[in-house]
Amino acid sequence: MGFVRETCALGEIAGRLGWDQETMMAPGSAPQRAEEMAAMESVLHARKMDSRVGEWLDALEGADVGEVEAAQLRLIRREFDRATKVPAKLASEIARVTSAAQGIWAEARAAENFADFAPTLEKVVALRREEADALAQGGDRYDALLQDYEPGTSAAEISTMFDNMRPRLVALRERILGSEFTPVALTRDFDIDAQMSLSNELAIGFGYDFTRGRLDKAVHPFSSGSGNDVRITTRTAAQDPFNCIYSTIHEVGHACYEQNISQDYLLTPLGRGVSMGVHESQSRIYENQIGRSAAYTSYLFAKMKDAFGDIGVADAEAFFATVNRVRSGYIRTEADEIHYNLHVMLRFDLEQQLISGALDVVDLPDAWNTRFESDFGVAVDKPSNGCLQDVHWSVGLFGYFPTYSLGNLYAGCLNEAMHAAEPGLDAEFAKGDTSRATAWLAQNVQQHGGRYTSADVITRACGKEPSEAPLLAYLEEKFGRIYNL
């Protein structure tokens, strides 16, 4: 395992380069960083497809090994098979182009000019199509890319899930928007430094270990790293403190997953989250089922008053409604729980079309704007509120978006099981104490890392196979209470 351990360590170093690029790096360093990322990818790709790895795997085929060792071999085999299908030159070029693309995307987003980014996105899409063809070997391109984020899942399975969720989500949205009740909106400015201070405090409250991580700002919040170096980012807006608070709690969910994986798996294929769907289940249950619950928001209401004084909301019950206010907004990361999955479905459909070739990059803004107005009833006013809002496509993450909704589904299942196993959690949330809930998640999900498949992790934790029913029931109960439905 020494060779594999070194490969995992090099992968963490590459991840740190990416973290630095999005948080600390000077803009003028981007071209050099692209070359550095390409060089690192060349080294990693060569190690993953090293013929010795294949020989070691063949020698161990059918060997009597323990469950953990078998899981390690399963993941090593998966990475080896993937690496041998993708030419080294292509892997390096993807790393180089996507590294440079991040800065180009950020500049185009700031300038509100999609045309500045379109040529680069065309390169990214073309490279990922080429990679998908190499991986699929005659099969479906998008399904091949999806395996990087949710192994064992197909676009058809996800489409079925979305088809089951969409009618009840749309019906619930219509009932909410037709309600006579309108939650109070925050209208004043909130000090940026105070937002960051409160976010640090909340991160600690949710179990984030700052001795093995740090919190910084980024254009698009993210979590990076594994094991004993797991870093998170957030963003601030003077008139929207929830952006900072809930971005932080969301990323803490990701980070705690990585920090709580068994130390026995450190720098091995098992030492990271099993899939992005399971990863999202942790970030979403921290952010929503815990962080936006009536109990926890009563605690947060008091913390907000301590930090900012009068925030213009009468009491804890009104604050609960304010935190969970439903409205048709442009930004996925700021969306309420009802609209969030509709944002994901839009991206899922469009990126399938981009990868298949049914949609050209030059036509993406019109396709996005048309679909958005149809789904949300609002016309997109500028590119940063439309197809330039997310970083994902600039860095080639095609197949990533549907895992957000899969994570919501898993979170619904886990929330139901957690409350059944640990009664009385709400009384603790009302005091800001999430320790028993997060300990349950660490024990039943996080510590396992990649030991089990994603579906097995959720099934083991919940005692039954995952379905959309618990999530939909949770949403209907919660928002029925808020909006008197």
Residues marked as catalytic: 251
Residue 370 contacts residue 353 (beta carbons within 8 Å): no
Supply φ then ψ for residue 182, to 5 degrees. -130, 115
Interhelix angle 114-136/88-111, rounded to 10 degrees, is: 150
CB atoms within 10 A of CB 9: 12
Beta-bridge mates of residue 223: 232
Q: Is 79 exposed, middle or buried (0-12, 13-18, 19+ CB in 10 A)?
A: middle
Tokens of 387: 């197809």
Residue type, 443: Q
- The closest alpha carbon to 466, from 278, 252, 245, belongs to 278
Q: Which residues contact 91 (CB under 8 A, 6 or more apart)?
A: 41, 42, 45, 83, 131
Q: Is 64 exposed, middle or buried (0-12, 13-18, 19+ CB in 10 A)?
A: exposed
Residue 150 contacts residue 406 (beta carbons within 8 Å): yes
Alpha helices (H) along 49-154: 51-60, 67-85, 88-111, 114-136, 141-146
